[in-house]
Structure 1
Amino acid sequence: MRAPKNPFRARGRLLPSPVPPGSPVAEARGLRVLLGQRPVLDSIDLAAHAGEVLALVGPNGAGKSTLLAALAADLPADGGEVRIDGRPASGWSAAELALRRAVLPQSAALSFPFPVEDVVRMGRAPWAGTDRADEDDPAVASAMAATEVTEFAARPFSALSGGERARVALARVLAQRAPLLLLDEPTAALDLRHQELVLRICRERAAAGDAVVVVLHDLGLAAAYADRAAVLHEGRIAVAGPPAGVFTGELLGEVYRQPVEVFPHPRTGAPLVVPTRGS
């Protein structure tokens, strides 16, 4: 008799199984990363949990993008370890990692003028040959609708503005439907409306059970949308916790070397961070 098909295996790949809410999806334990001989990250202990948005904030050069790349297993650790889905990141094949985490880099560039819809469909490649390959069309359509790029589905990616490219790149990540989203400055090229749209999408993905890690420069966005924030300073985590608890004028002023004032939003209570300016 033929053995029953394992729904969690396809073409030699172990497919991800559902992660209970609150469980760690990605973890850094004593993480150390060197670029050249210079330590960029040191003694990093941090976890991203299913069902939460974790914001990485801090000044330029603090190590935010490096930490995101290490959590994605795109950058090897020089000390400590990174675990994804309960296993050391090095224990997963590239194909298995692609099923577990989707990465949005700071810039999106393509050498060929692919149509927008084809670019978004690239996010479905990890699921080829699995029982979830039949989700390709609805996943692509849903991702394009969420990021408001459906109307230019047939346009060449190279003909888009910077903000439009950023939204298409995010749609590709969403179409991948991985349980861990790692987004590096996804709002940098966007106008006010689409900045808010992207962070609402982050919250929606967390509500659906995903773990979302997002690098942000806008502390107001981090305070409004993140469940937790990790403030990086000189390659270490200065503090991590709910923004309302960790965004203080004293800490942020020291980390950013800029005096700031922190006020509660009059309606939501979320911290508002304003640089201290002269009268």
Structure 2
Amino acid sequence: MRLGRGPRPPGPRAKGAVAVSGTGLDKRRNGRPVLADVDATMTAGEVLALVGPNGAGKSTLLSVLAGDLGPDRGEVTVDGRPLGDWTPVELAMRRAVLPQHHLLSFPFPVVDVVRMGRAPWPDEGEDIVAGAMAATGVAHLATRSFLALSGGERARVALARVLAQRTGVLLLDEPTAALDLHHQELVLRIARERATEGDAILVVLHDLGLAAAHADRVMVLSGGRVVADGPPAEVFTPDLLTDVYQHEIEVLPHPRTGTPLVLPRRS
């Protein structure tokens, strides 16, 4: 820990620069391997979708890359420096994490929940808070208690908090799980906009169609290992997905855009 020095704010990242890198990551839970020799990178200006069946290790990998969970082996770096070289405040200035579950025990008003995203910064940034709430469609809920919201509303408020943190790295764990079709598209459009502005985005998704439509790159996990990593059109093949998901899958081009449509084969 550095003494006598305030937190070091992040500098600009060049588009295409590696923002977060994990090398040789292993993790065990209850004696069971959850990640095995995983290499993963997040790049500025790119949306990376992390996909795979239940239990593949997606949320664990996100937590390890975020620094919320330590690996048993391997190293994670942010902007080329090991996670341990950053203070908690410096790390919070560099990456924001949207967990899968939005746990909050007190009836804070929505606007105060979103303001929590400004905690690492010296200014409250009310314009930033307002912009995050407008972008996620929750401005009309500002005075409502977070605990009184529906699951989908809570998910969008939690995303607004992450956006208000104004970091160049976003790690989003199943941000579309509780949302209807309109809000799924809204969330992933926001992720695309942030990537266009130069941010590095990692998003865990179960819907392979959403991953194909919105991600620049997909990483497929199975049994804690990376089995494919690349553009959706190259990675999403019927043979690979059938093997990973243990269900026969067909992949068809969208008739207008050519984006892969991933469908279970039904009799």
**Structure-1-length-normalised TM-score:** 0.93
1:209 deviates by 0.6
The corresponding residue for 1:252 is 241
Stretches of structure 2 lacking an aligned partner (at least 5 in a row): none
The answer for the alignment partner of 2:150 in structure 1 is 161
1:66 and 2:55 correspond: no
Query: What is the aligned-residue RMSD (CA, Å)?
Result: 1.0
Partner secondary structure for residue 251 of structure 1 = helix
CA distance in 1, matches of 2:149, 2:164: 19
Secondary structure, aligned partner of 1:14: coil
For the residues of structure 1 that align with 2:202 and 2:130, how far apart are their CA atoms?
Answer: 24
Quick one: which amino acid aligns to residue 45 of structure 1? D
- Aligned with 2:200 (options 185, 208, 211): 211
Deviation readout 1:221-267 (Å, 9 max, x if unpaired)? 00000000000010000000000000000000000001000001111
Aligned position for 2:102? 108
| Identical aligned residues as a percent | 64
User: Offset of 1:36 from its aligned partner?
Assistant: 2.9
Q: Which amino acid aligns with 2:250?
A: E
2:81 aligned to 62, 70, 87, which one?
87
- Compute the displacement of 1:91 (Å): 1.4
Q: 2:180 matched to which residue of 1?
A: 191
- Hey, what's the Cα distance between the residues in 2 that align with 1:66 and 1:267? 36
Task: Report the Cα offset of residue 40 of structure 1.
Answer: 0.7
Alpha-carbon distance in structure 1 between the residues aligned to 2:5 and 2:95: 19
Once the two structures are TM-superposed, the CA of residue 110 in structure 1 deviates from its matched residue by 1.0
**2-structure distance, mates of 1:74, 1:235:** 18
Report Cα offsets for 1:131-151 as digits up to 9, x if no partner.
xx26x1111011000000001
What is the letter of the counterpart of residue 139 of structure 1? I
Residue 34 (structure 1) aligned with residue 23 (structure 2): no
Is 1:126 aligned with 2:120? Answer: yes
1:170 is paired with a residue whose SS is helix
- The code of the aligned residue for 1:58 comes to G
Q: Which runs of 4+ in 1 moved over 2 A?
A: none
Cα distance in 1 between the residues matched to 2:159 and 2:119: 15
Deviation string for 1:59-110 (max 9, x for gaps)? Answer: 0000000000000010101111011111011211111110111000011121
**Structure 1 residue 157 displacement after superposition:** 0.5
Tell whether 2:131 aligns with 1:137: no
Residue 19 of structure 1 corresponds to 13
Worse-superposed segment, 196-205 or 87-96 = 87-96
Label 1:148 to 1:11 Cα distance change in 2 as closer, same or farther (>3 A): farther
Pick one of 74, 93, 100 that aligns with 1:99: 93
In 1, the alpha carbon distance for the partners of 2:90 and 2:30 equals: 29
**TM-score of the pair, normalised by structure 2:** 0.97
Q: Gapped runs of 5+ residues in structure 1?
A: 1-9
The equivalent of 2:225 in structure 1 is 236
| CA distances 1:182-226 after superposition (whole Å, capped 9, x unpaired) | 000000000010000000000000001100000000000000000
Q: CA deviation at 1:11?
A: 5.8
CA distance in structure 2 between the partners assigned to 1:95 and 1:65 by the alignment: 23
SS of the residue corresponding to residue 122 of structure 1 reads helix
Shift of 1:37: 2.3
